[in-house]
A and B are shown apart, each in its own frame.
Chain A
Amino acid sequence: MNRSAPRSIDQYLRQLREQLAGADAALIQDALYDSEEYLRAEVAAHPEKSESDVLELIASTYGAPDEVAGAYLDTEVKVKAAMATPRKVPKSKLGAFFGVFLDPRAYTSLFFMLLCLATGIIYFVFAVAGLAMSAGFAVLIIGVPFFLLFVAIGRVVSLAEGRLIEAMTGVRMPRRPVYQGNGSGFWARIGEMLRDRRTWTTIAYFILMLPIGILYFVIALVGLSVSLAFIALPIAVLFSQAGWFGMSGVEVFSNVQPAWLLDSGLAIPILGLAGALLLTSLMHLARGIGRLHALFAKTMLVARVSTGAAETEVSGEALAAR
């Protein structure tokens, strides 16, 4: 508890990060952002005091790193419990299989899969155009600023993508951007940005989103149309037999094997049932893909805690050197 109280903002943030170790990466990013906002404002509000003098009193006003970490972890658990509507989990295996239709995440994930084609195209164009234009401008004086602008916009877009993924799949993503810190100089910050693994994985994510988006879109569209068509078939046949509309001229089956299946009239109900099973499987698949994609996005778009700690280390040294 009382081991070396932090004497600088960087030390404080590092201790806070240690206290939150093992927590969700997105939660850590938010907590560090909030604390940095407060600490920088507090230091700026007392220009007559040194940073270490201000930090000395922080534990009694803002709270020590372990207290603040505790507050974030507690609130996260409480909010999650309060926001999640209790869902009845069906006991039987059959209930669990068809229970996916009661899960809103399955619908939003399916919608997300369809949406991925559109966002994938936008991200791909953004990333490829940004990289190509940066390469083209490299010989001109605007090359470097253009590339930096591209990376900065990419961070904002990655935050927006995170918000979208959280809304669609329910997996926690950052609500605050990563703050680079203004302790070190302009060039040092640019260097850090280029050395940051996340800068490059974010660009890779944008480019990969096009093939991934196409794949998701095709799975969702084919799955939906085939299963819905199968489900609709018995209903359509029933209506046509009732004489509500004619299906003459519409050839449903031309060469079903074995032939007795078609003659017995069982084929159409069986297809309808298969459609229902297919649709349910698709919902399961969508929910699974949603979760997997959120994990993928988290590794690509959110900084790992270990690399983050190394960054703080670097900027701390840069501060000491100045």
Chain B
Amino acid sequence: MDDTNDRKFQKELNGGLVGLVLLAVLAESSEDLYGYEIAKRLANANDGTSIFKEGTIYPVLRALSAGSLLTSRIVPSYSGPPRRYYRITEQGRSMLAEWKLIWRGTRDFVDRFIETEALNTGHSP
């Protein structure tokens, strides 16, 4: 029961974060990336397990692309269907800068409460 509640909470938290993380990954990358590569980068950065299911990043990539925050091109592949490579646009970069500010603000705000609680109960954060 606890496990499903945890998963549900995590899923709700992830709502907007997936888009932020994807923009950040693509902004840092010097080359264009396709869905599978991005998924593996996220997983590798977190000891092999991503905090969100890798299947959820594809629809978000398409949504970001539809909002012209990303551009994409198709390259044939030997292992499967042609791959769609994504690259961040200038619009995407400025959106990322704004989202970063919002995220930092949110994180600091939340931390303020969570850390106070930790101090009150005598645990170090």
Contacts and interface: CB of A to CB of B under 8 A. Distances in A.
Contacts of B103: none
Contacts of B56: 63, 67-68, 71
A83 B64 CA distance: 11
B54 A34 contact: no
Contact of B55 (A38, A176, A179): A38
Contacts of A31: 58-59
Nearest to A70: B56
Interface residues of B, number: 25
Contacts of B77: 37, 40-41
Contact of B80 (A44, A63, A74): A44
Contacts of B96: none
Interface string A181-222: 010000000000000000000000000000000000000000
Interface in A17-71: 30-31, 33-44, 60-63, 67-68, 71
B82 to A, nearest CB: 8
Contacts of A7: none
A72 interface: yes
A290 B108 CA distance: 50
Nearest to B14: A71
A62 B80 contact: no
Interface string B25-59: 00000000011100100010000011001111011
Given A61-B50, A182-B80, A38 B39 contact: yes
Question: Which 4 residue pairs are nearest across A and B when measured between Cβ atoms?
Answer: A40-B80, A63-B53, A44-B79, A63-B55
Given A31-B58, A37-B36, 12 more contacts: A34-B59, A39-B80, A40-B79, A41-B79, A42-B36, A60-B49, A61-B50, A62-B53, A62-B54, A75-B59, A82-B67, A176-B84
